[in-house]
A and B are shown apart, each in its own frame.
Chain A
């Protein structure tokens, strides 16, 4: 595997479910990011991790819980989501947090019923 991979690619869940999104980067980068991309809205940065430490949390509701066990893996734990949370969730990585080039994964298409 090369680049940034995300699993699952598609996820349908009820509002009471708990699920997790996984991201893995094979680029040797130190920074990883979660973004939310909704229809007709700009890409929204959710969380930033640099060397496994969370450096940014852009006022994201607590029903989204990130986890970064090492520099190569990033998770987004989901619980009691709302239908308006349905979106494409993108993971990205970069050499360092302040590097211009971020490499994106293909995303997880999430639908909350």
Chain B
């Protein structure tokens, strides 16, 4: 079983729709949860970062973490064509002076005008 599972998509939605992207994980020791956005021919950029269970909002983006279910989500409200990209979830565990960072496969998202 992979440590982090993410549906690769592709996911295609109309402009203005609410988008829900999800990842599940098996390692209960993950402490930090991140979402990265990667445009074509670019490197990933950090979009959201959360530490604890609950919601974190930043503009049109909301990150949600449910540690009991080992499930994280990214919601995009009022989606725009410029949101079309691949979204990667990532999780981090700090172990005695070292870190373990694991990424999901990425979900390719297209917002249609």
Chain A residues with CB under 8 Å of chain B are: 4, 40-45, 48, 55-56, 90, 92, 97-98, 100-107
Contact = CB atoms under 8 A, between A and B. Distances in A.
Contacts of B18: none
A interface, over-half SS? loop
Nearest to B105: A42
B45 A40 contact: no
Contacts of A42: 2, 4, 6, 88, 102-106
Q: Number of contact residues on B: which range applies? A: 20 to 34
Interface in B31-51: 32, 34, 41-46, 49
Contact of A90 (B2, B43, B49): B43
Contacts of B106: 42-43
A26 to B, nearest CB: 14
Contacts of A104: 43-45
B8 interface: yes
Contact of B99 (A41, A90, A98, A101): A98
Contact of B105 (A41, A90, A92, A103): A41
B43 A106 contact: yes
Given A42-B103, A98-B99, A90 B32 contact: no
Pick the 3 closest A-B CB pairs, nearest first.
Answer: A104-B43, A43-B103, A42-B103
Interface in B91-109: 92, 94, 98-99, 101-106
Nearest to B2: A42
Nearest to A31: B99
Contact of B49 (A4, A45, A101, A103): A101
Contacts of B102: 42
A55 B98 contact: yes
